[in-house]
Structure 1
Amino acid sequence: MRIVAEPVLRRPPTPDWAVRWGAFAHDLRFEDLPEEAVARTKLVIADCIAAIAAGAQESETLALAERLLASVGIGPHPLIGARVRGSAAAAALFNGTAGTMLELDEGNQYARGHPGIHVVPAALVAAQRAGATGRDLITAVALGYEVGARIGIASKLRVSMHPHGTWGTIGAAVAVAKLNGATAEQIVEAMNVASSLGLTTSRRTMLEGGTVRNSFAGFSNQIGLTVWDLVAAGFTGEADGVGTVYGTIAAEDWRPDEMTAELGTRWEIARNYFKRHACCRYNHAALDALAKITGESDVAPDDVERVEVDTYVWAAQLASPEPHNMLAAKFSLPFSIATTLVHGAATVDAFREPARNDARVSALAKRVVVREDEALTARLPVERAARVRVTLRDGHTLDAETYTNRGDTEDPYGEAEIEDKFLELTTPVWGARQAQALLCACRTLETAAGLDDIYALIAR
């Protein structure tokens, strides 16, 4: 193919959507946020803290904390759940990484990714540095979540890319810029600089159980902090870096109108989902259908002859029955079905080594058949559906289907269910009294004149 030289004779103008976003982000006040967005943002912050604290107990993350303190340095910022404090860079990387270890961080079905865990760790660090109030933190997190999620909506990532570590980097950068009192022009520059710094993430990492995948969100948070340092120092990006990267490089089908559609009235954080199954969300439709079956019939694992799952393409891809580690197990639909039948739920422990070594789970996972149904694939991205048929050894069959995952906008978990999840994850880390105190602090975050109490709680 012949190379065509296209010289850039002058810097083009900033696109209108970005100018509008810079002004919107600069002018946004806490009082401009609708009540629903405020309530949801507080839950997202709490949910991320819980996912981080629980994920921090894994052997890899505990070892990472020690190494980061030695290499990146100590400082005032909590490495949540590790009971140590480190530098801003160490805290952002550690907390973002720990938050994805257990596959329990929230997400956004419209953006096809996980905006919260890409924003909250960086925002917590920047808010501590800035001496921010609870309202400041809520506003910055909602804003960073919004810009990242909208880029996910406005573009279509290449199928070989993993969404972690991509547009979430821009969300982190905008949240940090907001907490640092950036001008409208600086916020635009932060978006464009951050667009060039996203990772070249591979989708195969999750399919192969490559745990480097868990660090992608950590790097997004760390880079988000660095972006502000670059912009404040005078570094610049290209005029429409977001459009270039998410229209021609990491993604395609760039639709900039989506960046400003209903801007300020439709908040993506208010359309998020929370997770209760501790595994890839692609598995959730089948697990929800299975829950319908087990809720109506007593199914003994040893009585199961075969489980058939018909679902959409991305879930059907997770068909390996023999995962070699915890991450691979979380991205195995046969294992998720089998361990849920044996252990009663897709809990954190249901994917740990003892469960993976359980002969009953292994044998049952090999009797799970996963197929793509093109009609269900065609329902994406609005619906993520699955049909499950359990055939018993006596010949009886049990069937169920679902078109909406529990926790989605259309079938949300109640606030009490989300808070129950928070306590389930944090009580083993901090004890019941401290976990309850932290939950109360998150509930009343908008009243906090400072955040020292929260930082003290998450540092213990």
Structure 2
Amino acid sequence: MTLPFDSFATDLRYDALPASVLHVLRRSFVDTMGVAAVGATTPLSGIARKVAPMIFGSGSAGSARMLMDGRATSPVGAAMAGAFTIDSIDAHDGVTPCKGHAGSAIFPALIAMAQASEQQINGQRFAELLAIAYEISYRAGLVQHATCDDYHTSGAWTAVGVAAAGAALLGGNSEQIRQAAGIGEYHGPRSQMMRCIDHPSMVRDGVGWGAPSGVTAAYLALEGFTGAPALTCEGPEGQEFWQDLGTGWRTVDYTHYKAYPCCRWAHPSLDAVHDMMRDNELTHDQISNVEIRTFHYATRLAGHEPRTQDDFAYSIAFPVAAMIVRGQVGVNELTDAALNDPDILRVSRSVQLIDDDDMTRISTDKRWAQVTLVLTDGRRIEDAPRTPRGDADRPLSDAQISDKFHALADPILGRARADEIEALSDRFDHLSAGDLSRLFDLCTQPV
């Protein structure tokens, strides 16, 4: 018998969380805060954090401080600003079968609601809420992709998970959680992802509106507002995706982590050229052109000459060229200087993206690409088709997650603050209410 999602949200207890789930939540906490730190330096984040207090002032629901900012606003405003901040650097955790991301909406939303709450929320309770939000978000996303023709952003289905977990945080009963999910799904942003990929801009993956939609839905439901049943949770067409709720964990099965701050569809090609340049002892001036066979959606990530961080995020050619020229794709490759690097631009213009039907067919639970380097002396070096590092079956190690966190956070926060955030995030579920509040404070102090 399938466990209803509302019962899952009301009844889940920390002792029932498998160690594997807690491991993912801890890794995601560390990883997400590193992304938030560098995200706070972007123009996108600056605009969102300026606007949030203008339109979402604090009220009787309490106040919350925006991530990496320190200023107080309503929990809805803090959720919006925080989600946009994290999403401004495309380096946060993701879920390949849903073609999107959950942590970028879940963490800012639940941190904001926890700050505003009059409850004393300790680490174990916060772990329960994160697990509820992740699991419901992932399953709602799987249903949506299986039943809707259009490719909607992550904001569409994270609004459902945030709403359910947010209502649970507020002490809602089973029926109120159902209503919250229904409100969140109905009002969540059904934004079309390929519009932003074809025309990169600051709207990104929709979580900047999915997170506050879910938070708003939770508060509305607790006041008696009703919502149409969430089809992603209760519709008959999607029931197969809920059958093992509470025993199976899509959070463990599917959560991946990014090695590079750009769309994951570029990552198999980045891994490939990194290894090919190293193993063949090549330098960028030996590269005549690059051929990348990949799936259809990925070929729309052109980006041969990105002018902004938004262009860079949704490109393959330029990050691949940066890897060929510099041997890395990190924060330094997001700068204006890098975007105008003549060596990178030369290689980037030479990249050919080839729409491959077989790659499209197999790129469901994984993302595939095959790279060929054509050298100036006429030689062709071909790599085998591959999927990116960071998937559940090819995970980044905890040490690699830590290294990535510090590479992103240390220049922005300073080593001492970054160390404390990492130490507390890595055991957040063991923290007292006071220590968890300290972690939230570290994550919301200005940069």
TM-score, with structure 1 as normaliser: 0.89
Match of 1:435 among 399, 418, 430: 418
8 Å contact kept, 2:303–2:317: yes
Compute the RMSD of aligned alpha carbons. Answer: 2.0
1:231 maps to what in 2?
A: 221
Q: Distance in 2 between matches of 1:442 and 1:352?
A: 29
1:204 maps to what in 2?
A: 195
Q: Structure 1, residues 107-159: CA drift from partner, whole Å, max 9, x if none?
A: 01132221111211111112222331111111111111101101122232756
Q: Structure 1, residues 204-243: CA drift from partner, whole Å, max 9, x if none?
A: 12321121226x2122111111111111111111245446
Mapped pair 1:137 → 2:126: yes
Q: Distance in 2 between matches of 1:155 and 1:166?
A: 9
- The percentage of counterpart residues that share the same residue type is 25
Unaligned segments of structure 2, at least 5 residues: none
Distance 1:159 1:367, change over 3 A: farther
Q: Distance in 1 between matches of 2:47 and 2:102?
A: 26
Which moves more between the two structures, 276-285 or 318-327? 318-327
Q: Distance in 2 between matches of 1:212 and 1:240?
A: 24
Match of 1:110 among 97, 105, 114: 97
Structure 1 residue 324, shift from structure 2 partner? 3.2
1:274 maps to what in 2?
A: 257
Match of 1:184 among 163, 174, 185: 174
Structure 1 residue 401, shift from structure 2 partner? 2.7
1:217 maps to what in 2?
A: 207
Q: Structure 1, residues 56-76: CA drift from partner, whole Å, max 9, x if none?
A: 111332243233233323674
2:282 maps to what in 1?
A: 299
Match of 1:100 among 69, 87, 90: 87
Which moves more between the two structures, 378-387 or 437-446? 378-387
**Residue 213 of structure 1 aligns to a residue in which SS?**
coil
| Aligned 1:50-449 pairs, distance under 5 A | 50-73=34-57, 76-128=63-115, 129=117, 130-156=119-145, 158=148, 160-202=150-192, 203-213=194-204, 216-242=206-232, 254-260=237-243, 262-271=244-253, 272-449=255-432
Structure 1 residue 320, shift from structure 2 partner? 4.1
Distance 1:26 1:303, change over 3 A: same
Distance 1:239 1:59, change over 3 A: closer
8 Å contact kept, 2:8–2:132: no
8 Å contact kept, 1:115–1:145: yes
Q: Distance in 1 between matches of 2:365 and 2:258?
A: 17
Instruction: Give the residue type in structure 1 aligned to 2:240.
Output: D
Q: Structure 1, residues 346-368: CA drift from partner, whole Å, max 9, x if none?
A: 21221332111112222211111
2:30 maps to what in 1?
A: 46
8 Å contact kept, 2:144–2:157: no
Q: Distance in 2 between matches of 1:177 and 1:146?
A: 15
Q: Structure 1, residues 401-449: CA drift from partner, whole Å, max 9, x if none?
A: 3432100011000111111111111112211011101111011212211
TM-score, with structure 2 as normaliser: 0.92
Q: Distance in 2 between matches of 1:283 and 1:201?
A: 22
